[in-house]
Structure 1
Amino acid sequence: MSSASTPVAIRNSLVVEGVSAQAPRGLDVVAEAAPRLTWRTVTDVPDWTQQSAELELTTSSGTSTASVSGSDSVLVEWPFTPLAPRDDVVLRVRVTGSDGSTSQWSRPLRIRAGFLAEGEWVATPVGLAHPATGAQPGLARTVFEVSGDVASAVLYATALGVYQASVNGTDVDDQVLKPGWTPYQWRLVHETTDVTGLLVPGANVLGIRFAGGWATERYGFRGQAAPFYTEQPSVAGQLVITYTDGTREVVATDSGWRAVPGPVTASGIYAGDDHDQQLERSGWDRPGYDDGDWPAVTVREALVTPTARNSPVVRRIEEVAVREVITTPSGRTVLDFGQNLVGRLRLTVDGPAGTVITLRHAEVLEHDELGTRPLRQAKATDTLTLAGAGPVTWEPEFTFHGFRYAEVDGWPGTFDPTAVTAQVIHSDMERTGWFASSHDLVDRLHENVVWGLRGNFLYVPTDCPQRDERLGWTGDIQVFAPTASFLYDVHSFLSSWLTDLELEQRHAAGIVPFVVPSVLAGRVRPAAAWGDAATVVPTVLHERFGDERVLADQLASMRAWTDVIVGRSGERHLWEGQFQFADWLDPSAPPERPAEAKTHPDIVATAYVFRSADLTARAATLLGEAAVAETYAAIAERVRQAFLAEYVTPAGRLVSDAQTGYALAIMFDLAPAEQQQALGDRLAELVRSGGYTIGTGFVGTPIVADALTRTGHLETATRLLTQTACPSWLYPVTMGATTIWERWDSMLADGTINPGEMTSFNHYALGAVADWLHRVVAGLAPATPGYGVIRIAPQPLTGFDFAEARHLTPYGPASVRWDRDGDQIRVVAEVPPNSSAEVSLPDGQELTVRSGRHTWTSTVAVADTGRPAVSVDMTLAELVDDPEAFAATIGAIAEIDPATADDLRRHTAWLPGRQVKELFERVPQDARDRVVGAFGALNASRAG
């Protein structure tokens, strides 16, 4: 067909790798000389496949083109001469399909090379000469002359701390908390910002506001907190001005700069900001200001030469209004924003000079008062002292908080809730994944997962955003990476973090620290499922984004970690008898001892030795490293055989008879195919005997539903998903949660916060089940790396009328939706151009399709919803398999003795060899009578 008869549209399709998306908008700043390129094609033509592509690059010296043969459109190697520092170029693409049609050129993409040449960084770190307090914030400035016509002006800046720069009184961008957090002693990043439009002829001022941020924070637990990097913040930057005549001038931080303390009198990530407007210096960062009383800066030691940012920046992403103003029993004013979020408050206020407004933050209320105990040593408090000069709009600059509620004290006059909004901040990543279903609680669970990701992806993938921690715990992201990779484009975010992981690992003899950046005092030691982030996260990035280079970049790290844990396994090939977090926060663990899980730690540890060895072998195979692949495959097989010999009986029982062990053996393919079914059957028995409540912690929870599904127990997985009793995924939803909790019972049913010393209400790890919702319930997954081939395999759940998932793949939008109408399941799917799909329909039909919109209908027998008569002679297994009868039993007992009812629900083994009347031995007579009465009413309703 001709291009005229078959138009191919490309809309905003060109994407360049490593973009930090810095101001001004429309200028993509890249961190490397030869970034890879991805483009997405949008067309109504079905079965469309790219035959070739043409790329056009326009530079100051002219235009050149390059051709790509075949269907490659994802992470295509840069086909032009590598960029030089400060190159400003424009790139376009057009494609030709296998039908002969050719598209129009894409919208031009402007690219700025954000890196510096070797030896080009000359800026010196500077700070306050005579700080009066630890981690004292400050202001730094210099005056410089612009002596000619400016072609371009680029600011390269960083801090050992956090900063914002301004030119002539205007902030250079809209980012916050720059440059973020990396292992500062090994790696520091700089921003690259075009400030050409901010310069004026003659005198100009470059100003920098700065504070300590993560660099001066105190890290550690139980009274052991101490500074790790430095006691005082410093800043460094250089402004490179290029004139139209080709001459170049550099304005860099050095001993000639001046600095003073500013209006931010104290600042900390955990503590918050204290800002005194009476100390503000009007016009300090503009020309004409007299800085004669400002002392010269002190020059500080440079830890490392900074490199260009290659990960997303952090911005204000959303603004949330006050939902409700609450007056607590103690008379305090508390604002409810209706959503647990991460950011800070912005307020507009007017009042007398010296008025101090105090803002305290917390995630929950406890008995109608602000629940601050989970914050531990974090003050999470901001203060604003007014200057009395009229209405002002203010928000803290150098901190962030995790909160839904904020207590306001000292507000002058009548409080107006419209004067305060919550500014949501996180790394500015593209949203790429969505899920919806007919089950409202499950949908809210999924939304909670999204908000948990948003709050904890702030430069570093953290465990929690509110208490005196907020660390890059490796175990959390190891289990959550698949979910994150569906919901957002986390490719560059996690790739950058893996660089930090490898740097920390390199300085720890191959051991991956518990947290990255590694700031916890004490000996670094390995922990299964935590350190395995070194092998799992690169694998996920390859699987979800089609990035083979990330495997190449991380293979040495993968090998180093695997070598460490293989060494710990010794001649028995079992990692046993050593420290482990194991199945952390198994719900049966006491609040004060979260590692005491039902699954033995040696089983968890050895399973992960196999997992990492296996993933390392697979990565080496993909990279063509045959000898390396053979070595690690042999290691994996030895560990697998040792695991089976030590922990699995021939009949398919684990010596540690708990859910996580079975899930690991199934999902890691530790057990041979002939044992998989027996393992799955036993796992389903354990879930049922536990009353279809959660019996897993951080390790087992992300995979238990998959393990059940893989072995034919989808109904059991459905009951587990839709359970609302504690512990379950939906119990927090019924308690009003708007993010994922750290503990299954972070809030007890009576409104009391869990008594454990460690409790968070925004922890994404247990929300990793969302990946199962995407892949299995909705049925959308990659069949090959990067979704070049998509897997469409929905598995409709009993009680659900529909489910759908959408994902922006590297090739374009893909979606799957199924709807139930009696015994008919209608599946509608969208496959993006230049890709294909393997389809498995609910009726067992298998087929392969190309791009376009597809609809299929399957006939699936509807499960018999009829329920038999119930009696006290039925077995406990039959009772728990009958949700109505189970609820009636527990509810009837609770009417008389709530504590006993809860104890029975939590601690009874619902087994097929026991009868309901055996429960009567533990309840009062009138409770027994109520159960019998409830059964009679239920039988009558069922008889119709």
Structure 2
Amino acid sequence: MPSVVRITAEHATDRTTVATPRPRLSWVTESETPGWVQAGAEVELDGARTVRVEGRDSVLVDWPIDPLEAGASHTVRVRVTGEDGVTSEWSEPHEVVAGFLPDGGWTAQLVGLADPAREGQPALVRAGFTVDGPVRRATLYATAHGVYQVELNGREVDDEVLKPGWTAYEQRLVHETTDVTALLAEGENAVGVWLSGGWFCERFGFREAALHYGPQPAVAVQLVIEYADGRTATVASGPHWRATGEGPITAGGIYAGETYDARRVLPGWSASGFDDSAWAPVRVDETVVVPEARSAPAARRTEEVAVREVLTTPSGATVLDFGQNVVGWLRITVSGERGQEVVLRHAEVLEHGELCTRPLRRAEATDRITLAGGGPETWEPRSTFHGFRYVQVEGWPGELDPADVVAVVVHSDMRRTGWFDSSSELVNRLHENVVWGMRGNFLHVPTDCPQRDERLGWTGDIQVFAPTATFLFDCDGFLSSWLRDLALEQQAQDGIVPFIVPNVLERAATPAAAWGDAATVIPHVLHERFGDREVLATQYDSMRDWVEVLLALAGPRLLWEGRFQFGDWLDPAAPPDRPGDATTDRDLVASAHLFRSTDLLARAAALLGRDDDAAQYRKLAEDVRAAFVREYVTPAGRMMSDTQTAYAMALVYGIVTDEGERRVMGERLAELVRVAGYRVATGFVGTPIVQDALTEGGHLDAAARMLLQTQCPSWLYPVTMGATTVWERWDSMLPDGTVNPGQMTSFNHYAFGAIADWLHRVVAGLAPAAPGYREIAIAPHPLPGLDRASATHETPYGRASASWERRGDVVVVEAEVPANTTATVRLPGGDELSVGSGRHRWEVPAPTTGNGRGPVSLDTPLADVIDDQEAYDAVLDAMRAHDGTLVQAFLDRTRWLPHLSLGAGLERVPAPVRADIGSALESVSRGRAG
């Protein structure tokens, strides 16, 4: 019998609270019946009303009942009937709470400190109120220009942090909705708010940092009390509230850190009976923005990491190593004399044994705590966050016990949905680094990095990472909410998508290929991965406006050229101080994205039934394609920029469609990858797609070699250097342990982690074949160098998985297909079949590898050596036996060409080393002959 095991409402925060009167519903069914398909379902509201839903739809189903009233709470149950006629039991009740206020219902005013002593001064704000009868329900609505937490009668109202996050404040504020019934009591009550500047009062900018929003934080609080006798009362912030700047948080900034003086704690300040006569009346800030209910998940403490090691640096400093680069803060318990100051300095890496803060630039990333004395004191910050693995501790009284310190991991609290595993521990660690990078950079906004004086919503980073993100976590609500800010910022710039959202930099309102294209790419990713067609409708105007901007820039030539571009940002060939100086022509990159966005817009128009737009933009996309090919592709199938990124774009974006040309381009791409020694030669644009281009062209061996390469630049080089998150640069740390000399060096940047999407879809072989995984593509690719790989994903329909494992001369492929879906399976070797839900297993002959083809020597062409893993390893091992530095120098200057011998490539290598390399190759050849 089928059973409904999970019900979710669209973009619900805390799993229950929704931001819309008609939240779409999804449910997951499990069934032991092979090939189970839903014939219909019943949705029951509050045990009183039932509506029938016909057909297979079970993901983002339109709300089938009357719209929710503001503040209402209901329970929903679902039962399903399969095509076999068997009906399930009713599911467990799922609560749905309307977390929004009615039109005109927001009455709270933004209030703050009336006479602040300094910019962004933290404050405490409070008010007393009376509850004059039994309470049926009490709901708190609150938002801020800054970050805040509310206490009712001395107790925090929830476990959320850094509320309400960061939005395009001038156009959009979000409010939290919290059930606080249990915190009220009949009689006198009090509400108090911790308030700090957060993003609102931060100074942004790379050269001359400046305020963008405002100099002082403010908070708006609205408590709606519903009495048991039917009365309703509202407690709202306004001029009668009181505030003080004399609380224990004396300074707080996202970049600077928090300064806390425990001597200034005011016992009972948020409880009734507290004497606030010395506090001043609040300042009231005017705003025309009416807060809307949050639709993205809240940020929370999600994990704690213990100290791995207490280090003493060469200079004598005490540094805590947590063994993992995390985002959050420390919680400490410390005892000392009154007035003792403890200083905590955060950083991601050590350099030459000392805390390395240079990559932080002007971000101090330092917390300071002054003790009250008199016994153990436990503290953690409220107004900041840090990206760190190491913390230098100064002023700790007595001997530091590592058990008294813990790293608190903080991020937007999304449900984990994707996993990957393989036989390579290095690849597994790479994937784990990608997961940690996403966790750290999905903190209210999808940021580029979480540690230095930046932490901005760079559109290019999330554009390339979105496919990976949507596999790893349920981030539909998170990204849909951020896209609303993107559209608002875009409207303010006449259709231009800023390259950061929210936009706090004047020059960011500049069209940039691959960055602004987040407007067209991300809605398509959300539709593909979550079945969210509505996001295409919501963002359609944004998509169209962006494309129209690009077409105007392109003019009659239909080429985007001669303007500012980031290009293939952080190509490893770019100098440390000029990260945009890539080997791929910037105009070529720009025009490729002109086609990509126009093509995606045409597809969206067709999906939405906008037939006239679909025809118009399809014609324009084809014209752009023709212009690109005419300008950048030679008759012989060569790209004018003869680079990995150029070929990957032409192939993966579908710009070149002729099969003969595509075959030639795929072969040239594979040749370029081999000539580079299977080391990465792509930046932000090429890295997410180069492996797909190789795979689609039939060059899986080349893709495998590039994945498993450990020499810099490669995905695994940082792993061999101890990385626990993905780095911004391929060489953020040099082999000698020195940090890259560039001024822009982060050790937690998820962009290059976009490779994980290829691991999921191609290596393990689990991908959507229809929106939301209603149909699944199972196509494992056993890579040379791996013995097994698997991926598991909690799709909107339930758990799906795909795996393969070599067992002798066969490969065993296994798959799990969730109920109410089907799968198309392509087995290694080429066989294709269709299956329904259930568990499946197949055995196919193992593919052969190309290693060990014959004798090798110094006369062997370089191209043959690099393609012979055993010979290649023998050459490098022989070098290492003499001098490890020889290896990197040899690799950096060698082009693995087909008509140049290994001996010729070793001309700069000392004769004794060449002789030992020759001997090592003779040994390889003897082994093969035997």
**TM-score (normalised: structure 1):** 0.97
Contact 2:322 2:390 in 1 (8 A): yes
Contact 1:894 1:902 in 2 (8 A): no
Please give the per-residue CA displacement for 1:226-276, whole angstroms capped at 9, x wherever unaligned: 110000000011111111121111111111101001110000001110000
Specify the alignment match of 1:598 in structure 2: 583
**Whole-Å separation in 1 of the counterparts to 2:469 and 2:496:** 25
Range with greater deviation from structure 2 (516-525 or 306-315): 516-525
Is 2:250 the partner of 1:243? no
Please give the per-residue CA displacement for 1:886-934, whole angstroms capped at 9, x wherever unaligned: 2333443455565554232012211011111212432333333332233
Alignment of 1:223-372 (within 5 A): 224-261=208-245, 262-372=247-357
Specify the alignment match of 1:907 in structure 2: 893
Q: Deviation at 1:72?
A: 0.8
Specify the alignment match of 2:595 in structure 1: 610
* Local SS of the residue matching 1:14: strand
Q: Deviation at 1:823?
A: 2.5
**Whole-Å separation in 1 of the counterparts to 2:564 and 2:643:** 20
In structure 1, what residue type is equivalent to 2:12? Answer: V
In structure 2, what residue type is equivalent to 1:394? Answer: W
In structure 1, what residue type is equivalent to 2:782? Answer: P
**Whole-Å separation in 2 of the counterparts to 1:376 and 1:312:** 30
Alignment of 1:458-469 (within 5 A): 458-469=443-454
Contact 2:498 2:511 in 1 (8 A): yes
Specify the alignment match of 1:4 in structure 2: none
**Whole-Å separation in 2 of the counterparts to 1:371 and 1:382:** 16
Q: Deviation at 1:98?
A: 1.1
**In the alignment, which of 9, 12, 24 is matched to residue 19 of structure 1?**
12
Is 2:20 the partner of 1:32? yes
Range with greater deviation from structure 2 (871-880 or 700-709): 871-880
Specify the alignment match of 2:669 in structure 1: 683
Q: Deviation at 1:151?
A: 1.2
Alignment of 1:731-810 (within 5 A): 731-810=717-796
Is 2:56 the partner of 1:71? yes
Q: Deviation at 1:881?
A: 1.3
**In the alignment, which of 645, 650, 653 is matched to residue 638 of structure 2?**
653
Please give the per-residue CA displacement for 1:166-191, whole angstroms capped at 9, x wherever unaligned: 10000000000000000000100000
* Local SS of the residue matching 2:97: strand
Please give the per-residue CA displacement for 1:479-512, whole angstroms capped at 9, x wherever unaligned: 0000000010010000000000000000001000
Contact 1:219 1:226 in 2 (8 A): yes
Range with greater deviation from structure 2 (874-883 or 128-137): 874-883
Specify the alignment match of 2:496 in structure 1: 511
In structure 2, what residue type is equivalent to 1:8? Answer: P
Q: Deviation at 1:303?
A: 4.7
Specify the alignment match of 1:183 in structure 2: 168
**In the alignment, which of 5, 8, 18 is matched to residue 2 of structure 2?**
8
Please give the per-residue CA displacement for 1:454-486, whole angstroms capped at 9, x wherever unaligned: 000001000000000000000001000000000
In structure 2, what residue type is equivalent to 1:250? Answer: T
Contact 1:890 1:905 in 2 (8 A): no
Specify the alignment match of 2:114 in structure 1: 129
Please give the per-residue CA displacement for 1:373-419, whole angstroms capped at 9, x wherever unaligned: 11001001101100013212110111110111111111111110000
In structure 1, what residue type is equivalent to 2:285? Answer: R
**Whole-Å separation in 1 of the counterparts to 2:762 and 2:507:** 42
Specify the alignment match of 1:694 in structure 2: 680
In structure 1, what residue type is equivalent to 2:629? Answer: L
Specify the alignment match of 1:832 in structure 2: 818
In structure 2, what residue type is equivalent to 1:322? Answer: V
Specify the alignment match of 2:486 in structure 1: 501
Q: Deviation at 1:857?
A: 1.2
In structure 1, what residue type is equivalent to 2:691? Answer: A
Q: How large is the Cα RMSD of the aligned pairs?
A: 1.2
In structure 2, what residue type is equivalent to 1:482? Answer: P
Specify the alignment match of 1:3 in structure 2: none
**Whole-Å separation in 2 of the counterparts to 1:757 and 1:890:** 32
* Local SS of the residue matching 1:315: strand
Q: Deviation at 1:939?
A: 3.3
Contact 1:336 1:405 in 2 (8 A): yes
**Whole-Å separation in 1 of the counterparts to 2:507 and 2:436:** 33
* Local SS of the residue matching 2:907: helix
**Whole-Å separation in 2 of the counterparts to 1:108 and 1:891:** 63
Contact 1:53 1:95 in 2 (8 A): yes
Range with greater deviation from structure 2 (690-699 or 300-309): 300-309
Specify the alignment match of 1:855 in structure 2: 841
**Whole-Å separation in 2 of the counterparts to 1:598 and 1:766:** 18
Gaps of 5+ in 1: 1-6, 22-26
Q: Deviation at 1:825?
A: 1.2
Identity rate, percent: 59
**Whole-Å separation in 1 of the counterparts to 2:209 and 2:279:** 34
What is the count of residue pairs matched by the alignment?
Answer: 928
**In the alignment, which of 26, 30, 35 is matched to residue 42 of structure 1?**
30
Please give the per-residue CA displacement for 1:187-236, whole angstroms capped at 9, x wherever unaligned: 000001111111111110010001000000010002x1111000000001
**Whole-Å separation in 1 of the counterparts to 2:909 and 2:819:** 64
In structure 1, what residue type is equivalent to 2:726? Answer: I
**Whole-Å separation in 2 of the counterparts to 1:521 and 1:531:** 15
Specify the alignment match of 1:535 in structure 2: 520
Q: Deviation at 1:161?
A: 0.2
Specify the alignment match of 1:158 in structure 2: 143
Is 2:926 the partner of 1:926? no
Alignment of 1:94-109 (within 5 A): 94-109=79-94
Q: Deviation at 1:29?
A: 1.0
**Whole-Å separation in 1 of the counterparts to 2:170 and 2:850:** 64
**Whole-Å separation in 1 of the counterparts to 2:135 and 2:111:** 27
* Local SS of the residue matching 1:522: helix
Specify the alignment match of 2:442 in structure 1: 457
* Local SS of the residue matching 1:40: strand
Please give the per-residue CA displacement for 1:414-437, whole angstroms capped at 9, x wherever unaligned: 110000001101001011110101
Specify the alignment match of 1:54 in structure 2: 42
Alignment of 1:197-212 (within 5 A): 197-212=182-197
**Whole-Å separation in 2 of the counterparts to 1:883 and 1:250:** 73
**In the alignment, which of 391, 406, 423 is matched to residue 438 of structure 1?**
423
In structure 2, what residue type is equivalent to 1:74? Answer: V
**Whole-Å separation in 2 of the counterparts to 1:925 and 1:531:** 53
Contact 2:498 2:508 in 1 (8 A): no
* Local SS of the residue matching 1:701: coil
In structure 1, what residue type is equivalent to 2:665? Answer: L
* Local SS of the residue matching 2:601: helix
Q: Deviation at 1:350?
A: 1.1
**In the alignment, which of 844, 847, 851 is matched to residue 830 of structure 2?**
844
Contact 2:42 2:53 in 1 (8 A): yes
**Whole-Å separation in 2 of the counterparts to 1:414 and 1:923:** 53
* Local SS of the residue matching 1:110: strand
In structure 1, what residue type is equivalent to 2:759? Answer: L
* Local SS of the residue matching 1:135: coil
* Local SS of the residue matching 1:921: coil
Q: Deviation at 1:937?
A: 3.6
CA distance 1:895–1:819, change in 2 (3 Å) = closer
Specify the alignment match of 1:722 in structure 2: 708
In structure 1, what residue type is equivalent to 2:637? Answer: G
**TM-score (normalised: structure 2):** 0.99
Specify the alignment match of 1:886 in structure 2: 872
Q: Deviation at 1:942?
A: 4.0
